[in-house]
Amino acid sequence: MKKVVKFGGSSLASAEQFRKVGEIIKADPDRVYVVPSAPGKRHSKDTKVTDMLYKTYELAKEGKDFGKQINDIKARYNEIIEGLGLGLDLSKEFETIEKNFREKAGPDYAASRGEYLNGIIMANYLGYEFIDSATVVRFDNNGDFDSETTNRLMTKKLEKTPKAVVPGFYGAYADGKIKTFSRGGSDITGSIVSRAIRADVYENWTDVSGFLVADPRIIDKPPYIETITYTELRELAYMGASVLHEDAIFPVRKEGIPINIRNTNKPEDPGTWIVESTAKKSKYVITGIAGKKGFCCVNVVKDQMNSEVGFVRRVLQAFEDQNISIEHVPSGIDTMTVFVQQDEFIDKEQAVVSEIHRLAHPDMLEIESDLALVAVVGRGMRATRGTAGRIFSALAHASVNVRMIDQGSSELNIIIGVETRDFEKAIAAIYDIFVTTQV
């Protein structure tokens, strides 16, 4: 068996955390490829090294002195090195970094040093080989991740390296210039390494024991999800449930490799399994509930809309022309509604309204604001009769007025639009009916 283990920033914030990580890796000889993040927060008021690097680079870019800031970063790494009793000296690395900062190597280069240096420490601590991700993770000239070239480079390199540390979050263009993924992107690197070696499992170690069935800020102590499919996860992540970077499932998905979310501080917890497909039933009919506030909708009414060819397209064109992405489009015979994100829409609303009038000549148009969407997700819903009925009766009992219903064609999710003030109440009511009552 071959396992890839990725550790998040909080798992590597101090020497004490590094030790826990070392024990986890040594406990299982299959854990042969390690992907570290940069050191994260040691306590709630602390600053992540990545953020320190961005700030320090800002000063360098303006030609200001950044001596104190870079020393603070050095101190973070030295504390780890000394705490682990390693005979490692990063001064040469820091000389290069300072020189490159002065030469304005760019914010991506700056941020990437967080993972790069942590990778060097990790490799030294474990006795694994260090691989600079700039040599194996490739971006194309448009700045997009080049998955196939990366897979080729990574596979070739790892074939010759039975145990290695590959720092997360960054790669490079063909000319060697450093480029990072978006924030939290070390999760993607872990997935890329897993794909390249066809790992049996991609373990993603963080500071929680997996995905929760619902947001703990709304629901008191919700249980963890044991197994979730990639698709269910996409639905929940899109609606705001975040543990894993949303692009991290794509590389492993190509090879059907499962991801296991684990807790560095509680390694005995089984965590959540993210899989392509499973025969395992989830404990409840639903797998999870998530939601987002901050939507508004445009209701468009026109008599005999259903027989007017091209009407929907013309309405949607008005949004496209203003570069506004659309979330949902429920429709009736003579009505259609377009859900959009309020902050993206608000400055352009009058332009959209007049364009809808110009393109589609509706009889009436109306905008409603302060709406929230709640997604109820679960592969079990397809096989269970009455799920939608139970959701809506629970909402009715909780006096939540349902403004929109959208069931995905996969029958994997039901999306419900409610007023923002009913958001928490709606989630609690759905949670109660499916989880608290255990049916």
Applying CB under 6 A, the residues found at the interface with ligand ASP are 9, 37-38, 48, 50, 114, 168-169, 183-186
Q: Which is nearer to ligand ASP, 50 or 413 (CB)?
A: 50
Residue 248 DSSP class:
T
CA 269 – CA 262 distance, rounded (Å) = 7
Cβ proximity to ligand ASP: between 271 and 380 the closer is: 271
Closest approach, Cβ 297 to ligand ASP, in A, equals 33
- Find tokens 């609303």 and name the residue: 349
Which one, 206 or 387, has the nearer CB to ligand ASP?
206
Q: Which is nearer to ligand ASP, 112 or 260 (CB)?
A: 112
List the beta strands (DSSP E) in 71-189.
Answer: 129-130, 164-165, 170-172, 178-180
Nearer to ligand ASP, 114 or 288 (CB): 114
CB of 57 to ligand ASP, least distance (A): 14
Amino acid type, 40: G
- Least distance (Å) from ligand ASP to the CB of residue 401? 39
- Tell me the C-alpha distance between 154 and 160, whole Å: 10
* Cβ(77)–Cβ(90) below 8 Å: yes
Nearer to ligand ASP, 168 or 417 (CB): 168
* Structural contact between residues 258 and 206, judged by C-beta atoms closer than 8 angstroms: no
CB 50 to ligand ASP: min, Å: 4
- Based on its alpha-carbon atoms, the radius of gyration of the chain, rounded to whole angstroms, reads 25
Residue 339 in contact with residue 327, Cβ under 8 Å?
Answer: yes
- The least CB distance from residue 187 to ligand ASP, in Å, is 6
Residue with CB nearest ligand ASP? 186
Long-range contacts of 232-236 (CB under 8 A, 24+ apart): 232/287, 232/288, 232/377, 232/378, 232/379, 232/412, 232/413, 233/274, 235/290, 235/375, 235/377, 235/408, 235/412, 235/413, 236/211, 236/287, 236/288, 236/290, 236/375, 236/377
414, 416, 412, 415: which is closest to 382 by C-alpha? Answer: 412
**CA 400 – CA 419 distance, rounded (Å):** 8
Q: How far is the CB of 48 from ligand ASP (least distance, A)?
A: 5
Closest contact distance (angstroms) between CB of 35 and ligand ASP is 9
Q: Which is nearer to ligand ASP, 260 or 282 (CB)?
A: 260
Burial of 75 (0-12, 13-18, 19+ CB in 10 A): exposed
Q: Which CB atom, from 168 or from 271, has the smaller least distance to ligand ASP?
A: 168
Closest distance to ligand ASP from the beta carbon of 185 (Å): 5
Name which of 188 and 435 has its Cβ closer to ligand ASP: 188
CB of 172 to ligand ASP, least distance (A): 16
DSSP symbols for 258-293: -EEEEETT-TTS--EEEES--SPPPSSS-SEEEEEE
Contact call for residues 315 and 336 (beta carbons, < 8 A): yes
Please identify, using beta-carbon distances, which residue of 50 and 282 lies nearer to ligand ASP: 50
Query: Helices marked H in 369-422 — which ranges?
Result: 387-397
Smallest separation, CB 37 to ligand ASP (Å)? 4
